[in-house]
Amino acid sequence: MSEIVLYPSNWLYNAGVVGFLHSLQEVEKIQVEGFLKEDGTVVLPANLFAQLNWDLRYFSETRLAAITGQAKIYRNYWQPSWDKSAFGAYVAALENLRESSLHSCSVCGRNFEIPEPHLQALVQRFSFLKTFLSGVSTFDVRLNMMLAPSIGEFPNSLWNLRSGSCVCPLCSFLLVHQHLSFLELIDSDGKASTSVFVNAPSFKVMWYLNRLVKEVYSREKISFVRELLGVSLIEFAMRVNAQLGMWTKMNIEVVSWKRDGTIDFYVLPYQVADLLLDWRVASLLSDIGEFSVLKMVLEERFYEIVELGEKIMAIGIKRKNEWGKQEKAYINQHLRLSRNKDRPDNLVNFASRLFSLYALIQEKQGVKGNER
Ligand SMILES: [Zn+2]
């Protein structure tokens, strides 16, 4: 195969692929956008694997994945006594991957294998590669120290993956990049508490959305998963979505990996994703800029948008020196941006944007109602 086509699968595999793309950009400075296709797949040139700087990637001080010995995530993946150039030979051999009809990989659902002559050549050169390849061909601590012991407890998304199930040589490699896809959220006490990854049925969407999530987080430090996803989707709609319209009707979920090892999934309701990915709704919400309003949309409390608008309008038509204590408290409770609240005319403008937003939501819901 001169090209290897990868289809989105369960979240762990998806995170592995997205993390690998990230590593290509970081280490080999390869522009990966061209590998991301409109149909949601990733198409990798097979000769890419022979070009990887494996020493820098996995064995240097600045390595992007620790795989040797007592590594934190990929425990005993590679033995310290093994010649590291053998790992380079294994990775390079992935360019010869073929699909067979023999085994089905429990991670990607495909049947990739290194053809027998190439496999024999590898093992002849480095006999211990036989031990390595057989070790990473089942799902255990080598492929994920945190996940492997309790894999059966996560029915959600990891559909057919069980501890001990069969893993193909491509997934054995891709999975050591999954951690690169996750964003660490820092607690109020300054510690990393949760890592998050946005999972979707398109690699292109995952690539851009996870990048936006990281960008939004570094700018706004929103540590609530739902709000972080909400703001990221708004930016996605305004900046990327034009080419990705067909993917707006899909499941988007956030995988949250907590420090204690538990994993949560937040699935964004379809109708909310549909709203946030509408360019007009996204622009209005971005213009409004208030979390209180975004939360109403995320929680589908649409009528509260009108109620807020009416109350703010009633205050805005008064002079500022006529605002009572309760009115000021109400404003401060719901609005944080001074451009929205510091003058009566700002309040009036803010309220009219809320009415426009509500009308737009109604219009979109009306259109959907007619479609049914
Ligand atoms: Zn596989």
What is the pLDDT tens value at each position of the chain, 372 positions in all?
799 999 999 999 999 999 999 999 999 999 999 999 989 999 999 999 999 999 999 999 999 999 888 888 898 899 999 999 999 999 999 999 998 877 688 888 888 999 999 999 999 999 999 999 998 888 888 888 777 655 555 544 455 565 567 889 999 999 999 999 999 998 777 787 899 999 999 999 999 999 999 999 998 888 788 899 999 988 888 887 666 656 656 788 999 988 777 888 999 888 898 899 888 999 999 999 999 999 999 999 999 999 999 999 999 999 999 999 999 999 999 999 999 999 999 999 999 999 999 999 999 988 555 544
CA 110–ligand 1 middle distance (angstroms): 6
CA 248–ligand 1 middle distance (angstroms): 27
CA 12–ligand 1 middle distance (angstroms): 11
CA 73–ligand 1 middle distance (angstroms): 19
CA 184–ligand 1 middle distance (angstroms): 26
Cβ neighbors of 143 (< 8 A, separation 6 or more) are: 74, 77, 136, 167, 172, 175, 176
Gap between the Cα atoms of 262 and 128, Å rounded: 35
CA 174–ligand 1 middle distance (angstroms): 9
CA 269, 273, 274, 276: dihedral to nearest 10 degrees? 140
CA 214–ligand 1 middle distance (angstroms): 27
Angle at 5 between CA 103 and CA 140, to 5 degrees: 45
CA 100–ligand 1 middle distance (angstroms): 12
Angle at 197 between CA 186 and CA 208, to 5 degrees: 110
- 133 vs 82, 85, 91, 138, 273, CA distance in Å? 13, 15, 11, 9, 42
CA 8–ligand 1 middle distance (angstroms): 11
Domain coordinates of the chain in residue numbers? Answer: 3-180, 195-276, 281-371
Residue 271 pLDDT: 87
CA 112–ligand 1 middle distance (angstroms): 6
Angle at 153 between CA 148 and CA 157, to 5 degrees: 90
Residue 263 pLDDT: 86
Whose tokens are 């939004």? That residue is 216
Residue 88, SS3 per DSSP? helix
